[in-house]
Structure 1
Amino acid sequence: MTKNKIIVLIISLIIILGLIIRTYCFSNNEVPEVEKKEEISENSEEVVETPLLVKIEEPETEQQPENQAEQTNDSKPTTKKYKASNGKSYDSIGNINIPKLGINYPILATTTEQTLKVAVTKYWGGNPNEVGNLCVSGHNYKNSKFFGKLLNIKNGDTIQISDLNGKTLNYKVYDTFIVDPQDTSCTSQLTNGKIEVTLITCYYENGNAHATKRFIVKARVE
């Protein structure tokens, strides 16, 4: 074999070897990259399809001495029947009166879609006029029914709460504010031994047809 043929053969082998190495590198680098992109795409779909969950914290409860709880249970009837204009009877725990706004309704014992159409309702807390934070909810109707006028309340105004023993206490408003629906911090029962009430109603932001916020009124016995 001549020298020129040997050189041509060596060059050909080098070219063939280079093509083999290039093909191998492409096979090991490009294909996994495609697989990696497919994997990312699948994970992205899982994230998009996962619903967003809002955790609603349970209201804090202030522990009372056992003897105080026993006295409360013994001295106060649990509920009283209230007959609504629809002819049905509902359990009530007392009455709320805000003279300045002309608000005067029984406080029904439970909050449901049906009871909210009848009167204002107990949302959380203990019985009226007890140490703690009685939370009362009511609809903000445009015809001023229930808590329809509540947004007109001011600090220093009086809220009267009557319990089932006929005792009425005056609560003075000390704060009003707006919160997101999932914010339950206003229902905390940690009142430092004070008797408080929290009123909760819908707040229509920027003229929206649907309520996106909640209007809160805080008051306590002084």
Structure 2
Amino acid sequence: MKLIVLSSRKREKPPMEEDWQPLNVGISVNESRAISYATVFSFFIIVSLLFMTLKADILNDISLVRETLGIGTLGISILVFLAIVLTTVIHELLHLIAFPMRNLQKSLFICIVGVSPCFLYNNKISRARFLWVLVSPFIFLTPIYIYLTLAFSGLISALLLFTHISSCFGDLVLFFKLSRRSDVTHLWSYGDQCWAIQKNM
């Protein structure tokens, strides 16, 4: 997918005096296809667990919202859309909080990949820290969305859990790919290019 950087500032490449080597940790076409399939599959799994195993009423939380706020179908649709957008924003903010604070204003770029917003950290970052950045939304948000889904057991809560899990698939693919690269100590991302400092073997 094409990366669009929403900034007039120029991104920097790693300093030549350090031993940076090109690193391919991107998501391949087959991996992108697998993520798409996993996204669809996760939705059916969530719906099946809710409405078959838990015997949940699919309109339970929709009825609750309608009665509490006194809004109709259009209002509920707008509310669900805003909730999904908020889920994505919270996901990205957790990535942001996990980045190193040093030189953050200079190093951080807001980007669009496909239709999704994301943050690009254009500076030196340790492999361990980058792994933490990738996995932090999954660790912190998954228990919350599972609780909401079990507590309200309806279509809205299922959609929010689905949105969260599908947002994490790409992060988790990169996490597992990088976690196997124990030879890498630091990374530098340019968005469509990545470099690494590797241990001297």
Q: TM-score, normalised by structure 2?
A: 0.26
| Greater relative contact order, per chain length (Cα 8 Å cut-off, separation 6+) | 2
Quick check: which one's helix share is greater? 2
Quick check: which one's strand share is greater? 1
Q: TM-score, normalised by structure 1?
A: 0.24
